Structure 1
Amino acid sequence: MVKNIIQREMSHFFALSKKAQRLLISYFFYGLANPLVFTFINAYIFRQRVNILNFIIYYFGFFVGIPLMFYINGLLLAKRIKIVILYFLGTILMGISPLIVVFYPHINFFHYFILGFIAGLGTGFHWANRSYFNQKETQSHNRGYFLSLNFSSDTITSVIISFLAGWLIVLGFRYQALMIIGFLFLLICGSLMIGVPYETPKIKKFIINIISPEWWGVRFIQFGNGLVEGITFFFIALLILSKLGNEGALGTLSALMSLISAAGIYIYGRKVRVHHQLPTYLYTVIVGVILSLFLALFFNKLGVTVYVLLDGVVLSFLWLTVGPITMNVIDRQTIQEKGGKYVYIVDAETFLNIGRILSLTICLLLTLFFNQNMALRFSPILLNFLLLVMLLFSFKKLKSWEF
């Protein structure tokens, strides 16, 4: 029985194009690096100064750098620089900022902003080209499977890497060594795409001239995702380290969160149909509100543990629904525009990061006007409730559009 299941799932994988298979292998190494260069760089910043403002400043720079590099990447593509080379360079740049953070001993607020900005440039460089690859190599009928396989792979690798890294730190392993390992994983990730025969897209414009109602809907849900997701880049690590203990707890809970996500995500991706995505998005937002309300009401070790274990599932399902919706609309918008996909990718990323910056701003205001504990306790419920209200007011119109 197990053999049959494995054979069936392998047949789905091999049904993807050779380029899509290579992409997923490249993304696997990105998944290995991700807990190190994101989760544990947060832990390192926390250990230097127990101050939420350091995280907010770092990620302000990060979210400004991402859309800026999407635009710069477009300019480089317009000059016919190979897209696989740009993907490689962006992936490498992602690993440079964490290395500077752990090897440079004296960092102030300004340095955190600059280092976050550099990390954002690398992330934007990587994801600008990765988003184009995803768009190019998938169609509406297999996007759910492709993305769910990618998410499941990331979550499984996160289980192993997070657990090992957390306890290695507790046992005396140095952060510097972790960041070097993360950088090497990113190097492999980028190198795997060198030589793959991708045609560099012809970039003809950088602004959408006529914005359809459907694209306004995509902008809305991208902004909404950014609103909820923005603080999560550092929030889980800060909650665990401030309320539950050391890096061992961080690694263990991050691993468990990933494990809980993996099976559900993969099964959803295999069974989902296009018409399921928008209702699933609404249900996921509602679950996010309930979960964040639980954290606000029970801001203790039990409440934090439950929130940490389940929040990753909510975020994963948000992206599993928003990703295919966005790509399907881009396909329809660009049927007559060869090479026009990239401008829509940049536009979606811009609205996503506007939402992320607003998310950080709300968290910053709670910290400044109240305190760090209040920000940790009430930021999630404010952000999730705000998204739910926006979604309920516009859901009927969103449902009428051809997502």
Structure 2
Amino acid sequence: MSLHQWISDTVRHGRFEHSRLSRVGSAGRSLIISYIMLNIAEPLLGIFSHAYLWQRSNGLSLIVVYDSSSFLGLVAGFYVGAFLVGRYNVEFVYISGCSSMGFSILALTLIGDTNIVVLAILGMCFGLSSTLFWASRRFLVISHVAPTHRFYFTHCEGIVGVVLAVIVPPVIGWCVVVSRAFFPLYTVYVVIGLLAFTVLGAAGYSVRRLRTPIQPIVSLRIRTPSARWWSCRWVSLWMGVSMGITLFVPVVLTLTLVGNEGALGTIQAGIAVVSAAVLYWIGRQVKKDIRKHVFSISAILSVSAALVLLLDYDICGAIGYLGLSGLAFACTLATYNHIQYENIEFEEGRSGMHRYAYLLDQEIFLVIGRFSGLAPICIAYALGGLGGMLRTAAIVCAAASVALWSTYRRLSAPQQSLKMSSRN
């Protein structure tokens, strides 16, 4: 291919993507800008906050306490969010979630206390503020992005996320490694907390001009869930298992078998490069049945990742596991978000209930899944130590991915084949 042809193809693809992005609308573009800010802060919220807790205790106890309390805070946050959404604009709830999420991470680094009670409170606050952010964000996406453009929108988010994941984790990771040669661990992570607080504030500020009508919430209980929504619940449960494991296991595995925060960020960047290419290809597919194939591919990747770690529990096996499982989770998450948006909108039209009730119901089953995945890992850690815990986590994550694919096969069946009768 000549240079001229390469430039022409690049310009043509650029115009094509620009035209598709323009169809998302100004509100959709504002949400994408906010998502960019979130993805700059996300490694600070997840990867490096867990690395900080691991460095403080050199064990799993602080991470389990923090994550368990944050899972409970996620559910509590939905009820707080329901109170706010019914009385204030969703944009206010979104901005509040961004600000409080950044403040909770800053407090975690500032307090520097490994007291279990204090850590549990901080985890609860982070979970609650995360829910205010994510619930209002999903609400805004459903309200401002047309269904015909939502599949492209969610995968555009995914591409933005993985591209930033190429840049942010290694930069932050190696800055931490270099800075620790001159400053105490506490000082380094306080700076990270300040950075997270600032960037999340910018994420909230970017949606200030959106206007979503206030919709009073009459009830949050889904009294007559359809058979289709029960399938959505199972999808959320299995997704929650994967989320709970992916939240901290890659961090522990990297710091245990591979190296320091710099290696952690570099590996995450490598995974993001491959994920970006795959997500871009998925986003260009217009056929909805591509999602079924994405889940099946993710299941194969997750099983392969578990086998690699079980057969080769050392640096090479750890890197192989991180690459395969990271790619599987990135693909699954992007597809999961779209199908849940679609089904929430469908159920809202069918039942006439407020969409926030379905968002809450979805989050409850995600939390059940997170705890379900955390339980066997804790048992394995108590019985078999760190090695047993990491191997068990790989097996559980692979099983959840296979179950997710199996459940989605039923959910993606033709509409008329799903009984719309309710279950008690």
TM band (smaller chain): over 0.9
Q: How far apart are residue 327 of structure 1 and its match?
A: 1.6
Q: Which residue of 2 aligns with 1:68?
A: 76
Give the drift of 1:255.
Answer: 1.2
Residue among 35, 47, 51 paired with 2:55: 47
Q: 1:232 to 1:397 in 2, by over 3 A?
A: closer
Equivalent position to 2:233, from 219, 227, 238: 219
Instruction: Give the distance between the partners of 1:90 and 1:395, measured in 2 at CA.
Output: 31
The 5 A counterparts of 1:297-376 are 297-335=311-349, 340-376=354-390
User: Which residue pairs with 2:162 in the alignment?
Assistant: 155
Number of residue pairs matched by the alignment: 401
TM-score by length of 2: 0.90
C-alpha distance in structure 1 between counterparts of 2:399 and 2:353, whole Å: 38
Cα 1:160–1:383 change in 2 (3 A) is closer
Give how far 1:111 is off.
Answer: 2.4
What SS does the aligned partner of 2:218 have? coil
Mapped to 1, the partners of 2:329 and 2:274 lie a distance apart of 12
Change (3 A) 1:196 1:387: closer
2:198 is matched with: 184
Task: Kindly indicate whether residue 249 of structure 2 is the aligned counterpart of residue 235 of structure 1.
Answer: yes
The equivalent residue for 2:224 is: 210
Equivalents in 1 of 2:231, 2:351: separation in Å? Answer: 20
Q: Which residue of 1 aligns with 2:39?
A: 31
2:184 aligns with none
Q: Secondary structure at the match of 1:202?
A: coil
Give yes or no for contact 2:249–2:393 (8 Å, CA) kept in 1. Answer: no
Shift of 1:115: 1.4
What amino acid does structure 2 have at the position aligned with 1:383? C
RMSD: 1.9
- Letter of the aligned partner of 2:300 in structure 1? I
Structure 1, residues 33-64: CA drift from partner, whole Å, max 9, x if none?
11112111111111111111211111001111
**2:350 and 2:124 mapped to 1: Cα distance?**
36
Q: Are 1:115 and 2:115 counterparts?
A: no
Give the match's secondary structure for 1:231.
Answer: helix
Instruction: Indicate yes or no: 2:271 matched with 1:257.
Output: yes
Q: 1:389 to 1:132 in 2, by over 3 A?
A: closer
Q: Give the match for residue 413 of structure 2.
A: 400
Question: For the structure 1 residues 373 and 77, does the alpha-carbon distance in structure 2 shift closer, same or farther, using more than 3 Å as the test?
Answer: same
Deviation per residue, 1:240-295 (Å, 9 max, x gap): 11111111101111111112111211220121422222342233123212212211
* TM-score, structure 1 normalization: 0.94
Match in the other structure for 1:200? 214
* CA-CA distance at 1:399 after TM superposition: 4.3
Letter in 1 for 2:39: G
The answer to whether the Cα contact below 8 Å between 2:75 and 2:360 also exists between their aligned partners in 1 is yes
- 1:58·1:116 contact (CA, 8 Å) conserved in 2? yes
Residue in 2 that maps onto 1:104: 111
| Counterpart residue type for residue 280 of structure 2 | Y
Give the letter aligned to residue 27 of structure 1.
Y
* 1:113 CA displacement: 1.9
Q: Which amino acid aligns with 1:400?
A: A
Deviates more, 1:280-289 or 1:116-125: 280-289
Deviation string, structure 1 residues 18-38 (Cα, Å, up to 9, x no partner):
111111111110111111121
The AA in structure 1 aligned to 2:104 is S
Query: Greater CA deviation, 164-173 or 18-27?
Result: 164-173
* 1:85 Cα offset (Å): 0.8
Using a 3 Å threshold, how does the CA distance of structure 1 residues 37 and 391 change in structure 2: closer, same or farther? closer
* Structure-1 separation of matches of 2:113 and 2:301: 41
* Residue 67 of structure 2 is aligned to residue 59 of structure 1: yes
Which of 385, 391, 397 pairs up with 1:383? Answer: 397
Aligned residue for 2:46, secondary structure, equals helix
Whole-Å separation in 2 of the counterparts to 1:277 and 1:201: 32
Q: Secondary structure at the match of 1:371?
A: helix
Letter in 2 for 1:147: T
Deviations 1:109-145 (A, max 9, x none): 2322221111101111100100111222334432221
Q: Percent identity?
A: 25
Greater mean deviation of Cα atoms: 314-323 or 381-390? 381-390
Question: Are residue 277 (structure 1) and residue 274 (structure 2) matched?
Answer: no
Question: 1:236: Cα distance to partner?
Answer: 0.9
Is this contact kept in 2: 1:144–1:270, CA < 8 A?
no
* Aligned partners of 2:304 and 2:324 also within 8 Å: no
Quote the Cα distance in structure 2 between the aligned partners of 1:354 and 1:145: 29
SS of the residue 2:284 aligns to: helix
1:13 and 2:16 correspond:
no
1:141 aligns with 2:155: no
Distance 2:114 2:259 in 1: 24
Bigger mean CA offset, 198-207 vs 351-360: 198-207
Letter in 1 for 2:149: N
2:17 partner SS = helix
Is 2:376–2:392's contact at 8 Å kept on the other side of the alignment?
no
Are the counterparts in 1 of residues 155 and 279 from structure 2 also a CA contact under 8 Å?
Answer: yes
Aligned residues of 1:285 and 1:387 also touching (Cα < 8 A):
yes
Q: Using a 3 Å threshold, how does the CA distance of structure 1 residues 389 and 131 change in structure 2: closer, same or farther?
A: closer
Q: 1:389 to 1:152 in 2, by over 3 A?
A: closer
User: CA shift at 1:390, angstroms?
Assistant: 7.2
| Aligned counterparts of 2:92 and 2:373: Cα–Cα separation in 1 | 33
